[in-house]
A = this chain, B = another copy of it.
Amino acid sequence: MSKHAKEMEGLKEHLGKHQLKFTRQRELILDAFLKQEHITAEEMYHQLARKDPHLGLATIYRTLNLFCEAGLAQARHFGTQTQYDNVSHKGHHDHLICTDCGKIVEFENCDIERLQEEVAARNGFTIQTHRLELYGLCSRCRH
């Protein structure tokens, strides 16, 4: 049995609700995805090339987008590419990004999240997801 049984069940549930099918490729991609903090489609394509040389790039894109709809992943544009963040194993996390060296630090902050809810409620919105990115210089690059 897979190490990611719980998430696998979550995916199957989503598939069932939407008349989608559980395939070998989706299982393979989910397994690889859950080992990552964030990954691009291209990176995953190369990672999985050994396990399944015939796995197509289009399938990876389709599947990562499926994960987003299922709430396991979240797409984020960084540079020219789309990063797919793993949001399945922990609460939502945000990013501190060094504009000089590209270093990424992940963090969570409940107070900020609570204030976000307040702002949304004040404007009649129901939050589904959010994105918070802080850009600046890390301690090393400040000098």
**Cα–Cα distance between A130 and B139 once the two chains are bound (Å):** 17
User: Which stretch (A16-24, A48-56, A110-118) binds chain B?
Assistant: A110-118
How many Å from the CB of A68 to the closest CB on chain B?
11
State the oligomeric state as a number of copies: 2
Residues of chain A from 106 to 143 with CB closer than 8 A to chain B in the complex: 107, 109, 111-112, 115-116, 119-120, 123-139, 142
For residue A77, which residues in chain B have a CB less than 8 angstroms away from its CB?
77
**Cα–Cα distance between A78 and B138 once the two chains are bound (Å):** 26
Given the contacts A105-B125, A125-B105, A119 and B96 also touching, CB distance less than 8 Å: yes
- Chain B, residue nearest A139 (CB): B124
Q: Is the interface of A mostly helix, strand, loop or mixed?
A: strand
For residue A137, which residues in chain B have a CB less than 8 angstroms away from its CB?
125-126, 128
For residue A138, which residues in chain B have a CB less than 8 angstroms away from its CB?
123-125
Q: Can you list 7 A-B contacts (CB < 8 A)?
A: A77-B77, A105-B123, A107-B123, A120-B136, A127-B136, A128-B136, A129-B135
How many Å from the CB of A139 to the closest CB on chain B?
4
* In contact, B134 and A133 (Cβ under 8 angstroms): no
